[in-house]
Amino acid sequence: MRLTSTYRLLAQSTSKRLHKPNSRTAIAIASNATTRNFSTDNTQKHKPTTFATQCATLYHPSIKANRGLAPPIYFGSTYTLDDADHGARLHDKKEAAFTDEDGFVYSRWGSPTNEACARQIAALEGVQSTGGTMLFGSGMSGITSALMSVLKAGDHAVFPYTVYGGTHEFLKEFAVHWGVEIDFIDGAGAQGPEAYRSAFRENTKVVYCETPANPTCRITDLKGVGRVVDEFYGTRQSNPNRPWVMVDGTFSTPYHQRSLNIPGVDVSIQSCTKYLGGHSDILAGSVSTNSPEFCHGLAKVQKLITAPLNPMDSYLLMRGIRTLDVRMERHGKNALKVAQMLEEHPLVDKTFYPGLESHPDNTGGKDCLVANAFRSGRDYEEDASTMPQTYGGMIAFIVKGEGDVALERAKRVCEGLRVVNLAVSLGSVESLVEHPASMTHAMIPREDRLAGGLDDGLIRISVGIERASDLVEDLKLSLDRVMENEAEQSAA
């Protein structure tokens, strides 16, 4: 009895020190009220008086703090709940791209800063209320999550030869070993849709496009691909089991191409590391869709296998997107000037840039794939009179020569640049150059690489927003030096 009384007195003393009730809670206790003490209500939360508890307690700013012009960065991994029922509701919800009025429960399932950025990209992509956008830790994480959400053993998928090297590696190193059947086709140009159609099977579950292609800048007729899928399998409404048409639009961004506005297209993928981020300081990827079914599957993969983009990079991505419109215009203007110089240089065999008349998909007329693929940030037809037509910042060109001669020559051109940076990636404010055969596409077998138009001497340039004349001069000097050195070696 004495021991029990001692513990009771100690407990009462500790409770009084830790939970000094204000007048509101005192009245509630005295009246035996049933109102619960919500943990998110600062007016009813206890104020600790001991040093250790003060250290461990989370302090929050006033409610008015949420009126800052820039959205805050939420680093929290977990979130306070109103009550047990609130937690039960959150855990019982079906996975989706965005939260509802119940808010967040755990950052592996989504966080405020991540969702704010995702909603901004959803607006750019033209996502409807039925769909959503989800952000991942890299473009590859977004691509693999999208594929894993719909593919299983025994399924079939169709990809272009020029698919990004990382996507190709995932298919060859993982997907085929999981029992997924893969076909590669030449999906570029006017004949692309029929090339896709020829690969369709009864078990086809993914039809994958990448346009403009990396790095050849060839254009896929997305309207045509959507049409042949609808003709072969039926529309999504009439046949929910039809293949998912996915588009990697990293080269174009929503500034030029809103894939989800094209009938038959289900999923739009962006490597946000590139143009949307725009500053070579984050890794990020986005996947957008208007399908709630696809959103659920994608969210399930993100929750259990991959992970959402972290809050800091989500914030930096939001900041980069704010200047996307003006950056894309400058990228396009600069790239056209660089491409025009390359097309005239004697060491260059071919130049691939959609803005050049020589581009194989720039055929002119209403059915011109280039014209339909680059809307240049225009929202209305009348915008054409005030907003310049541009064609993106990506250029590919092939130096003259065959086999190893072309390969070594291309490497020397890249290594001789001084303003343009020799580095992988693209879409940043600074210009970047790379040699796909020895860098980004080195993991692709040579025969597959050549079948996709990736010659040994092909060089890819991501044109930045520097002074255009500086970029033109830098590239011209490097090309000239290679020619001069070769001439000197021949003379010796």
274 is known as an active-site residue? yes
d(CA 89, CA 302) in angstroms, rounded, equals: 20
Can you give the C-alpha Rg of the chain in angstroms? 28
Helix, strand, or coil (residue 402)? coil
Tokens read off for 32: 């035996």
d(CA 372, CA 362) in angstroms, rounded, equals: 10
Residue with tokens 């020799």: 422
17 is known as an active-site residue? no
Beta-ladder partners of 461? 395, 433
Residue with tokens 């210009």: 431
Give Cα separations from 117 to 107, 199, 304 (angstroms). 15, 37, 21
d(CA 63, CA 310) in angstroms, rounded, equals: 24
Q: Which of 218, 274, 409, 449 is catalytic?
A: 274
- Which pairing describes strands 285-289 and 267-270: parallel, antiparallel, or unpaired? antiparallel
223 is known as an active-site residue? no
Give Cα separations from 24 to 35, 49, 62, 201 (angstroms). 11, 19, 20, 69
* DSSP conformation class of 249: -
Tokens read off for 313: 């990079």
Q: Which of 74, 161, 164, 391 is catalytic?
A: 164
Q: Which of 155, 221, 248, 266 is catalytic?
A: 248
Enumerate residues 6+ apart whose C-beta is below 8 A from 472: 337, 338, 341
108 is known as an active-site residue? yes
d(CA 166, CA 194) in angstroms, rounded, equals: 26
Q: Which of 89, 108, 172, 223 is catalytic?
A: 108
User: Which residues are catalytically annotated?
Assistant: 108, 164, 248, 274
